[in-house]
Chains A and B, each alone.
Chain A
């Protein structure tokens, strides 16, 4: 093998050595490159990749916090949370899904349809993701499942919480919760980064208004998951924060009583504290069962609700718009007195109608009231008298007064479903309808017909502001601890404590930074006195519904808002309201305040298509007032107990 000469070996060795040197240099460069890359990834970009690694590693499941509770004035729970019994399933742990469903059908109420839906949903999700089979089992079903649990592997009985409402009376004002819809996700931004499937959100009323606060802060369970998303172990938990509890001004006892009184008619009742604007009661009829929505309302039930003639889902107290009818006469009269257009003594002769440019405007009483002054006009609700008042007053001055007393604007802040109503005027008509105002329309407006549209709560507020002597109220339904002090209450307190203060009312008001709604308080007192006459003097429109007990005596004004004007033939044939189609009958109104001697509460009652206010609305008001005055003592006792001021 030693056939090569040594020079060959030497030259080869030299070549190899030289080339090896080049290769080694190249290797060194590559090593530096790899070390550099390592340093870049592990030292420079550590934060970035560490974050990505954690993102890989952890998954969070959100836990819905218990929803805030809605209480009445006395802390009684109107909307609270209850334990519910659910059945969860983890498809991964089920040996045979069909057998399981077959067995389950004998234990709980499970329809073929529901099984089909569950299977379809199951196919869409990961095998280890939990699926809810039954949302709200009865206790007996739940205990039966627990009994047979050893045969039902993969099934997990779970005790959870859900909304429950104590009764239907407050369904409209409190609202209801139900499943999240795409529209909720769009409107309620706080729901967008929520990843809880079975969460209920407020749809109407207070539930919707304070949804975010009552929802609370979701907690979470943090899991370590593997690359396929399977949970490996629980890392940490956070229970979140319970939703805020709201105490309302409502009295659940009155709510239930009032709802019971109007359950056979379609209508609304509102009761308001005339000094602090607390809404003591607000019910609408027909009511619905808010609990039906919590676990998803069934189709038939929903169809019944939305196709119902009387619109049970509508909160008529704030969303129902009706012409105020004769109840507005209190304002028409007040406006005339304040503007010095009329005096209380001025007489107008009522012959049953007046004529204006050849058109006849009828009084409700065909034979007429004879000579009518303002007190009598309100007491008998004489239309002809108020046609004359309105004619002299003009629509725009009436509109100013009506707006001052809260008509034509929303009473409560934030309620999405509340309507503002309409206070007509010459400018309003030109803007909205593009037409000029006619004098005839002023006459109709003067008795609350025509374009006027109000809600029961607005009329309740109007009455309350007359009853308290003409002071602006800020009605509230939720008691907010951090709410600013109400200067009006301080004013009333001052008046109570210093009845003989020499300063004029105007000076006193200025001291409390308040603006009165009147120019001369005598005018307000005159209206109150006239309303007393209407309710408590023979011949008054609501005399039949008066209270004889001094404690309950109220002063009120009836009203009926026309749906359709009577034709001449009907008028001559003396057609009664009960003789015409239900949907063409007048709406019946009654507004009042009580007790007359020392007013505390204002009330408005609306009965849809009830005919006349005196026959349909006033009797309901009578009973509500009795209840409210009775409950007043409880309320006062509760306030002193809380150490709050009146």
Chain B
């Protein structure tokens, strides 16, 4: 107690703060980032100018951004979480009306310098906001109806805004990120069970609202061979690519499935497939190991940090990060339907990269300010 009290009032020196950086986490992210540049280089057929160049620039910029954010006091994120959440909701509403239309959906907001996808940032925003919310309320209130409805409401608003863009994958991930926090905060098993039950009952109704392409994706997932040249094509070709990679892979820039255009969306959702084809089981296992290290380090920060907000945030972010990775991998390996979820860091995409780096930065700041109480 004494130590904490003292540390609240003791301003860190820059040197102290710098050496409180979790270097294992930092280097894991850096290694993954370098790998991602090579993967993007391969995804554009061995051409640096296409995806690899802008991906490298983005990674470079956002990696610095990640380090800078790390030095912002954790209290700042706690204080402004509601504001951040509210701003993101407003951005989502703006996207609804002024968003850039592409391939039948409105997901991007033209900010002149670049196109921002607010739904990606919302994945982090909801974690921040709910961590702050559960930090404030008492343990006894967590399971009270009033305190249950509010987080549900906070999750449902962005969910509805994103699902109608339409972007089912991101909407589910946002909802999931929020749900993890409520779970960690101690909401009863029963309530999750009831909600799941309700979801199963409502599922057929929800499915009737789905777009035809979304329906066909779900049906395709259940039986990809039914229509191998149509909707099942992506899953089948992805499995062929991964499977033909074997133990050691076909070699860098030699992934014939990717190179000959059999692989769809190979620079975004299917980047893991491409990597897996070229580097085989060994390469894929290395990627999984790096992700595991990142998730473990964030979880470890959560355990070391003192404040409930920081704990909830780190555990929540680690779990969300895990879900992003797992959903993407399960998807390209044919274990889940194709819903359109990027793989953190590896996939091409500015907003996704920004969101992940922002999330990592806040987690890192939890480490630097781990003794700060809020």
Interfacial residues, chain A to chain B (CB-CB below 8 A)? 1-2, 4, 8-9, 11-13, 15-17, 19-20, 23-24, 27, 30-31, 33-35, 37-39, 41-43, 45-46, 48-50, 52-54, 56-57, 224-228, 232
Q: How distant is the Cα of A536 from the Cα of B247 in the complex, in angstroms? A: 92
**A-contact 0/1 string along B221-246, CB 8 Å cutoff:** 00000000000000001011111111
Q: Does B6 contact A (CB under 8 A)?
A: no
Kindly state the separation between the CA atoms of A404 and B303 in the bound complex, as whole angstroms.
108
A41 touches B185 (CB 8 A): no
- Asked if B242 and A42 sit within 8 Å, CB to CB, the answer is yes
Which partner residue on chain B sits nearest A10 by CB separation?
A: B139
A42–B284 touching, CB < 8 Å: yes
Distance, CA A85 to CA B132, complexed state (A): 82
- Check B319–A49 contact: CB distance below 8 A: no
For A12, the chain B residues whose CB sits under 8 A away are: 139, 185-186, 308
Contacts of B240 in A (CB 8 A): 49, 52-53, 56
The chain B residue with its CB closest to the CB of A228 is B261
Binary contact track B90-114/A, C-beta < 8 Å → 1, others 0: 0000000000000000000000000
Out of A1, A23, A30, A46, name the residue touching B244 (CB < 8 Å): A46
Q: Are A224 and B139 in contact (CB under 8 A)?
A: no
B244–A52 contact, CB under 8 A? Answer: yes
A-B contact pairs, 17 of them (CB 8 A): A12-B308, A16-B186, A19-B186, A20-B184, A20-B315, A27-B326, A34-B288, A34-B326, A37-B330, A38-B276, A43-B281, A49-B240, A52-B240, A53-B244, A53-B257, A56-B257, A57-B260
Minimal beta-carbon separation of B9 from chain A (angstroms): 13
Evaluate contact between A42 and B186: CB separation under 8 angstroms. no
Question: By CB atoms of chain B within 10 A, which of A2, A33, A41, A54 has the most?
Answer: A41
Q: Which of B295-338 contact A (CB under 8 A)?
A: 295, 299, 302-303, 308, 311-312, 315, 319, 322, 326, 329-330, 333, 335
Contact present for B139 and A42 (CB under 8 Å)? no
CA distance A24 to B180 in the complex (A): 12
Interface size of B as a range: 35 or more
Q: Is the CB of A57 within 8 A of B256?
A: yes
Task: Pick from A13, A48, A224, A228: contact of B308, CB below 8 A.
Answer: A13
**Pair B315/A23 contact, Cβ less than 8 Å:** yes
Is B138 part of the binding interface, using a Cβ–Cβ cutoff of 8 Å? yes
**A contact residues around B288 at 8 Å (CB):** 31, 34-35, 38
- CB-CB under 8 A for A41 and B330, given A12-B139, A56-B260, A57-B260: no
Q: Say yes or no: is B84 at the interface (Cβ < 8 Å to chain A).
A: no
> Which residues from A are CB-within-8-Å of B183?
19, 23
Min Cβ gap A309→B in Å is: 56
Residues of B within 8 Å of A15, CB to CB, are 139, 184-186
On whether the beta carbons of B311 and A49 are closer than 8 Å, the reply is no
Question: Which chain B residues border A53 with CB–CB below 8 Å?
Answer: 240-241, 243-244, 256-257
Given A15-B186, A30-B326: A38 and B333 within 8 A (CB)? yes
Chain A residue numbers with a CB within 8 Å of B139 are 8, 11-12, 15
Task: Return the contact of A37 from the options B241, B257, B295, B333 (Cβ within 8 A).
Answer: B333
**Bound form: Cα–Cα A27–B311 in Å:** 18
B61 at the interface (CB under 8 A from A): no
State how many angstroms separate the Cβ of B87 from the closest Cβ of chain A: 22
Listed from nearest, the 5 A-B pairs whose CB atoms lie closest are: A49-B243, A53-B244, A227-B261, A15-B186, A226-B260
Task: List the B residue with the shortest CB-CB distance to A41.
Answer: B243
From residue A123, how far is it (CB to closest CB) to chain B in Å? 21
Contacts of A49 in B (CB 8 A): 239-240, 242-244
B257 to chain A, nearest CB (A): 6
| Interchain CB contact under 8 A, B311 and A46 | no
Further 13 A-B residue pairs, CB within 8 A, beyond A49-B244, A57-B260, A227-B260: A9-B308, A13-B311, A15-B186, A27-B319, A38-B284, A38-B333, A39-B281, A41-B242, A41-B333, A43-B246, A226-B260, A226-B261, A226-B262
B374 lies within 8 A of chain A by Cβ? yes
Judge whether B157 is part of the interface by a CB distance below 8 angstroms: no
Assembly CA distance A19 to B335 (angstroms): 26
B280: Cβ under 8 A from any A Cβ: yes
A34-B333, A224-B260 known; A50-B184 Cβ under 8 A: no
